[in-house]
Chains A and B, each alone.
Chain A
Amino acid sequence: NAGVTQTPKFQVLKTGQSMTLQCAQDMNHEYMSWYRQDPGMGLRLIHYSVGAGITDQGEVPNGYNVSRSTTEDFPLRLLSAAPSQTSVYFCATNQLNRGEQYFGPGTRLTVT
């Protein structure tokens, strides 16, 4: 089992470009979430999903879109990249109502 996978590992974008960060899991977990981690800020929740077709906003959703068409995949879209979106992005999954989260290896994004 691969667990939680994320692609790409690294990405450099220019301001205004768009891209999609991929997250996939084979753990059959209902709940998936996206976090960003910045120095001194800890992990901040961007968007989350409790199942296919259901998504909701976290603490810092502006500039990001998500969709959940399958249990396995939860892509994060940056609509028009800004330097403030330079960060490390982690995808995480957990069973519904079981709080233990499992994280992917992260995507390091730089926006110039």
Chain B
Amino acid sequence: RKEVEQDPGPFNVPEGATVAFNCTYSNSASQSFFWYRQDCRKEPKLLMSVYSSGNEDGRFTAQLNRASQYISLLIRDSKLSDSATYLCAVNAGDNFNKFYFGSGTKLNVKP
């Protein structure tokens, strides 16, 4: 079983739509969670951290569900510029600094 799993998509949505992605993880001892954005042929860039209490940054909201072992990313009022692949990262339970990444969810925002 993979440590971290994501729906590869693509999610095709119109501008202005709300879209949500989930990322499931297998190790219940994981403590640290992040969302990264990756544009085509570029490096991943940190989008936001995911705290136990949730985290909101403008149009982006990240949440953690420990009971079901998943994190989510909600994007409101989608922009064309949000088109990218979104990767989740979860740390190994026995090593805070070692991370497993999902394979990414591709988002296409259409005019």
Contacts of B32 in A (CB 8 A): 99
| CB-based contact B104/A103 at 8 Å | no
Once the chains are docked, how many angstroms separate the CA of A104 from the CA of B44? Answer: 9
Contact B102 A42 (CB under 8 A): yes
Q: How large is the interface on A (under 10, 10 to 19, 20 to 34, 35 or more residues)?
A: 20 to 34
Determine the interface band of chain B, counting residues with CB < 8 A from chain A.
20 to 34
- Which residue of the partner chain B has the closest CB to A31? B97
In the complex, the answer to whether A99 meets B42 with C-beta atoms within 8 Å is no
* B8 in contact (CB, < 8 A): yes
Instruction: Identify A42's interface contact among B43, B49, B87, CB under 8 A.
Output: B87
Closest B residue to A48 by CB, please name it: B98
Residue of B nearest to A40 (CB): B103
Bound CA span A103–B99, Å: 13
Pick the residue among A94, A102, A104, A105 that contacts B97 (CB under 8 A).
A94
Docked pose: A50 CA to B45 CA in angstroms: 21
Cα A33 to Cα B91 in complex, Å, equals 13
Interface flag for B25 (CB, 8 Å)? no
Residues of chain A with a CB closer than 8 A to B46's CB: 100-102
Determine whether the beta carbon of B101 is less than 8 Å from that of A100: no
Are the CB atoms of A43 and B44 closer together than 8 Å?
A: yes
Which residues of the partner chain B approach A100 to less than 8 Å between Cβ atoms?
Answer: 34, 46, 49
Q: Separation in Å of the B88 CB from the closest CB of chain A?
A: 9
Report if A42-B42 is in contact (Cβ < 8 Å); known contacts: A99-B49, A100-B34, A101-B89. no
Chain A residue nearest to B96 in the complex (CB):
A97
A residues less than 8 Å from B70 (CB atoms): none
A–B complex contacts, Cβ < 8 Å, 6 sampled = A31-B97, A41-B103, A44-B101, A50-B97, A99-B32, A100-B34
